[in-house]
Amino acid sequence: MMTTMMTRLRNTIRIFAVAQLLVAALWLVSFEFFINFEVAFLSAFLIMLGSMYSYSKLVQQRVAGYEGVNEDDLIEKIDDPYDLYDDTPVGEADEEADLKSVVKEEKKRLKGKGVKNLQKSAPAVVSIYRMIPYALLVFGFVGLQNNQMLSLFPYLTGLGFGIAVSFFSAKGLFTQKQ
């Protein structure tokens, strides 16, 4: 287990080092191009890495706390999720009142699930592993703008490159082969 994690970590560091060498070569173009690209690359790389790490932890916690579902209940829910084939007859006069109450109940249920899902995913959304890189992104952008060094083409290109490199790095680091 430990050797596979170390191998994954080494591969991630290698990918990052090769990417940094490519970024360092941009200094030959101009310092302004390099600094814009570098700030954007680092912030996008760290944001993606932090996001994937925090969501990976969240998924691991949910899997660890998962309680199995009874198969009969699951099949019933898939076959007839809205109880359309229920055998109890519905009266003609009550049908409109029942329909309104059913719609209200369904809206309440869906609203409750939205809040519940937000509460469950909140730790991953406000993770320190994401907030610090976002602060780096904002301060880097503002710093470049205040020093009249901001150039959008290298900045946006650096963001894209950082996202791509971090995706391949994090994919190898946080995915578990089974």
Q: Is residue 172 within a helix (H) or strand (E), and if so which, with residue range?
A: helix 152-174
Query: Which residue, 12, 45, 21, is CA-closest to 162?
Result: 45
Task: Compute the distance between CA of residue 174 and CA of residue 57 in angstroms, rounded to an integer.
Answer: 9
Taking CA atoms, 15 is separated from 21, 27, 41, 165, in Å, by 10, 20, 13, 7
Confidence at residue 46, expressed as pLDDT on a 0 to 100 scale = 92
Confidence at residue 176, expressed as pLDDT on a 0 to 100 scale = 65
| pLDDT tens series, the chain, 178 aa | 566 878 888 888 888 999 999 999 989 989 999 999 999 999 999 999 988 888 888 888 878 876 665 555 666 666 666 666 666 655 555 566 677 787 788 777 777 666 666 667 777 777 788 889 999 999 999 999 999 999 999 999 999 999 999 988 887 777 765 4
Confidence at residue 136, expressed as pLDDT on a 0 to 100 scale = 94
Please spell the DSSP secondary structure of 135-165, one letter per residue. Answer: HHHHHHHHHHHHTT---HHHHHHHHHHHHHH
Residues 6+ away with beta carbon under 8 Å from 95: none
Confidence at residue 71, expressed as pLDDT on a 0 to 100 scale = 56
Task: Compute the distance between CA of residue 2 and CA of residue 26 in angstroms, rounded to an integer.
Answer: 37
Query: Which residue, 139, 138, 121, is CA-closest to 51?
Result: 121
